[in-house]
Amino acid sequence: MMLDKARRLIVPSARSDVPPFIVMDVMAAAARIEARGGRVIHMEVGQPAASAPQTAIRAAKAALDTGNIGYTEALGIPALRARIARHYDETHGVAVEPERIVVTTGSSAGFVLAFLSMFEPGDRVALANPGYPPYRHILTALGCEPVLIETSAATRWAMSVDALLDAHRDKPLKGVLVASPANPTGTMMRAQALAALVAAAEGEGIRFISDEIYHGLDYAFPAETAVKLSEDAVIINSFSKYFCMTGWRVGWMVVPEALVRPVERLQQNLAISVPTLSQIAATAAFEGRDEMDNVKHGYEENRRILVEGLPKAGLGEFLPVDGAFYLYADVSHFTDDSFDFAKRMLEEAGVAATPGIDFDPQRGKRFIRFSYARSAADMREAVERIGAWLSKC
Ligand SMILES: Cc1ncc(COP(=O)(O)O)c(C=O)c1O
């Protein structure tokens, strides 16, 4: 009786019924092959193989030795907020008041804080398709409506002003979120294109969110920050990618003055504060930029190996490889089922990659995402294995 009652009580909410992240399933399949003694080249996970900057690790060790790791202010430790503000001056020549910086538990928590502080349930928020799946899943869980905007080669696979305004005319949008460099495409928006999109959105009263998590990893041309373009835009960033600190779970936002206090109240209630050790490490991470630039040079070499090698191996069609550490390859020559293609490539060639359907349920059936955040030797071996496998397909 009691058990029956408990079962009835714990029916999961409809809002928690978000789709899984398919890349996790690929990782699990790769792990099963490795457990049997097989070797897999991991190109599925979007995470750097390198370690965090030594400056960050040393700072964390010293802090740990004090034995006193308490809560911090909800918006983050002042030294880190000031250091992030200085980063905008150093890197982009733009002054930002430290008061507008909010430290977050990775950029992932930044999305939750941004969406909660900017939107009401039912609000429509435009996202580029293909795109990072958690954007749409977090919006859905919060009761907002993700509006997918198709992208094409004509705009370097970024959202165009026309497409945004068309969607807005269709039914009003409350917000728009873009990322440049983007995941999964690895493509970037030129500075003028980003400026035009910000101006068009704000001209219509559509709030702009810029996910700049892959800043610092730009190869084709420099990435532009929305901090420079609007004081009303919300910028989300992270120590996960350029600084190789995925597991430290620390990121930041730059928010308009009007959102500082609402975001502070939300953070106080949702998290109290961001892990203290991670904040201390992150403050010191900025002094490890030389080390991180070397890691970036490694990605540039990987990019060169893939851009030259994949066409010879048989995968000649991919989107411009501008930034982040992703290459989005068109495999429609071989299949219209990228999930099956990725599964066979893993089982038969020992190369793990992510099917495009994770990022774009429809057109993603024709695409595979490769992550090139590991060693150059791995990239060379991957190209060889893919070439040998495709020649037999
Ligand atoms: C585009 C994009 N945004 C945000 C994230 C979340 O990263 P984190 O929460 O580690 O900062 C990722 C992770 O892969 C990503 O690719």
Kindly report the three-state secondary structure assignment for every residue of 233-248: CEEEEECCCCCCCHHH
The answer, yes or no, to whether residue 99 has pLDDT greater than 90, is yes
CB 158 within 8 A of CB 128: yes
The proportion of the chain whose per-residue pLDDT surpasses 90, expressed as a percent, equals 89
The reported pLDDT for the residue numbered 3 is 67
The mean pLDDT value for 366-386 works out to 97
| Distance between Cα 237 and ligand 1 center (Å) | 9
Burial 67-92 (b: 16+ CB within 10 A, else e): eeeeebbbbbbeebbbbbbebbeebb
The reported pLDDT for the residue numbered 187 is 97
186 vs 20 pLDDT, higher one: 186
- Which of 189, 212, 241 maximizes ligand 1 atoms within 8 Å of its Cβ, making it the mutation to test the pocket? 241
Which residue's alpha carbon is nearest to atom 3 within ligand 1?
213
The answer, yes or no, to whether residue 2 has pLDDT greater than 70, is no
pLDDT band at residue 6, thresholds of 50, 70 and 90?
low
The answer, yes or no, to whether residue 300 has pLDDT greater than 80, is yes
Pocket (CB within 6 angstroms of ligand 1): 46, 106-108, 132, 179, 183, 211, 213, 238, 240, 246, 251
The reported pLDDT for the residue numbered 8 is 74
| Distance between Cα 213 and ligand 1 center (Å) | 6
270 vs 155 pLDDT, higher one: 270
The reported pLDDT for the residue numbered 293 is 98
What is the identity of the amino acid at 161? Answer: V
The answer, yes or no, to whether residue 146 has pLDDT greater than 70, is yes
The phi, psi pair for 78, rounded to 5°, reads -55, -35
The answer, yes or no, to whether residue 152 has pLDDT greater than 80, is yes
The reported pLDDT for the residue numbered 1 is 59
The answer, yes or no, to whether residue 381 has pLDDT greater than 80, is yes
The answer, yes or no, to whether residue 107 has pLDDT greater than 80, is yes
The answer, yes or no, to whether residue 378 has pLDDT greater than 90, is yes
| Distance between Cα 368 and ligand 1 center (Å) | 19
The reported pLDDT for the residue numbered 10 is 82
- Which of 104, 213, 243 maximizes ligand 1 atoms within 8 Å of its Cβ, making it the mutation to test the pocket? 213
Which residue's alpha carbon is nearest to atom 1 within ligand 1?
183
CB 216 within 8 A of CB 181: no
Residues 6+ apart with CB under 8 A from 121: 142, 143, 144
The reported pLDDT for the residue numbered 4 is 73
pLDDT band at residue 304, thresholds of 50, 70 and 90?
very high
The mean pLDDT value for 22-42 works out to 91
What CA–CA distance (Å, rounded) separates 31 from 25? 10
The reported pLDDT for the residue numbered 7 is 67
17 vs 174 pLDDT, higher one: 174
Which atom of ligand 1 lies nearest, measured to the CA of 183? 1
CB 196 within 8 A of CB 165: no
The answer, yes or no, to whether residue 21 has pLDDT greater than 90, is no
The mean pLDDT value for 179-206 works out to 97
| Distance between Cα 235 and ligand 1 center (Å) | 13
The answer, yes or no, to whether residue 368 has pLDDT greater than 70, is yes
Q: Specify the range with the lowest mean pLDDT, choosing from 262-266, 359-363, 386-390.
A: 359-363
- Which of 108, 250, 274 maximizes ligand 1 atoms within 8 Å of its Cβ, making it the mutation to test the pocket? 108
What CA–CA distance (Å, rounded) separates 324 from 346? 23
Tracing tokens 């991180």 back to the chain, one arrives at 292
The mean pLDDT value for 37-50 works out to 94
Q: Which helix (H) or strand (E) holds 354?
A: strand 354-355
What is the identity of the amino acid at 369? Answer: R
The answer, yes or no, to whether residue 153 has pLDDT greater than 90, is no
- Name the average pLDDT for the chain: 95
pLDDT band at residue 22, thresholds of 50, 70 and 90?
confident
pLDDT band at residue 292, thresholds of 50, 70 and 90?
very high
Full-model pTM: 0.95
Task: Give, as one character, the DSSP assignment of residue 229.
Answer: T
| Distance between Cα 393 and ligand 1 center (Å) | 34
